[in-house]
Amino acid sequence: MCRHLAYVGPSVALGQLLVSPQHSLVRQSWEPRRQRYGTVNADGFGVGWYAEGDPAPGRYRRQGPVWGDETFADLARVVRSAGILAAVRDATVAGADGEAAAAPFAADGLLFSHNGAVKAWPASLAPLAGALPPAELLTLEARSDSALIWALVRHRISGGDTVPQAVADTVVDVAASAPGSRLNLLLTDGSTIVATAWGDTLWYLTEPGHRTVVASEPYDDDPLWREVPDRTLLTATRTDVLLTPLKEPSA
């Protein structure tokens, strides 16, 4: 499917996080070590980052493989940030949405990515989509399961849910409508990371008070990496990582 990563900590160059490590996210686009579904993530990529004093993140997304993009190489060398979310994509279904379908999606100061796939898409999520206001459906960035899941999360947040609660409840609802789906979600506002492990790998690396990285798989062999158990919600800052079991959908 995909590989993604989020970081909060001291300001770093994008390349230091996404390119330089031995098993970096860029390398995972053609040689992932722990990917269970798919083998090459060449259907698009993206990175979002936060500038100091600006709550709205910047993004760079493209349709093709990250290894062939010279502009990304320049950005990765010079752009620095203390809050980053990046992803490389293996599309579940080929589509015409181009870079609009590449994570991260963005709205209201948040960055979002989905690693996984919804079973029997799109029919399985028709009831959930039908509960959204028409304006929200008409403004989806792409015609993909990930874009709809992002709309469902945003709808809960706009209704007053916290981000962790919105993410957890959306995953349970989607899993109930489409059993067997893989729903590893990843969000950040530049200072907090929220993620789910549901059907695919998720790891985190933390140095309390300094930095936290959450990723589909480790980008190096640091012994501090820890795997997140399946059916788990992760909420993390620079100083703390909280793991909460997610409930299974009601039969």
Q: Residue 113 domain-assigned?
A: yes
When pLDDT is cut at 50, 70 and 90, the band that residue 92 belongs to is low
pLDDT, tens digit (0-9, with 9 covering 90-100), for 128-187:
999 999 999 999 989 899 999 999 999 999 999 999 999 999 999 999 999 999 999 999
Instruction: Please name the residue that has the structure tokens 């549901």.
Output: 198
Q: Residue 93 domain-assigned?
A: yes
Q: How far apart are the first and last CA of the chain?
A: 27
Minimal CA–CA distance to 110: which of 190, 214, 166, 169? 190
* Cα radius of gyration rounded to whole Å, the chain: 17
Number of domains in the chain: 1
Q: Residue 251 domain-assigned?
A: no
Catalytic annotation, pick one of 1, 2, 18, 25: 2
What does the DSSP 8-state code read for residue 119? T
Q: Residue 31 domain-assigned?
A: yes
Please work out, in degrees rounded to the nearest 5, the angle formed at the alpha carbon of residue 187 by the alpha carbons of 86 and 13. 35
Active site residue 85: no
Query: Residue 140's domain spans which residues?
Result: 2-245
What does the DSSP 8-state code read for residue 225? -
> 8-17, 41-50, 85-94, 239-248 — which is least confidently predicted?
85-94
C-beta separation of 50 from 11 below 8 A: no
We report the CATH number of the domain holding residue 156 as: 3.60.20.10
Amino acid 179: pLDDT: 97
pLDDT, tens digit (0-9, with 9 covering 90-100), for 102-139:
999 999 999 999 999 999 999 999 999 999 999 999 99
When pLDDT is cut at 50, 70 and 90, the band that residue 33 belongs to is confident
Amino acid 181: pLDDT: 97
Q: Residue 74 domain-assigned?
A: yes
Q: At what angle do helices 163-177 and 145-158 cross, to 10 degrees?
A: 130
Q: Residue 250 domain-assigned?
A: no
Amino acid 113: pLDDT: 97
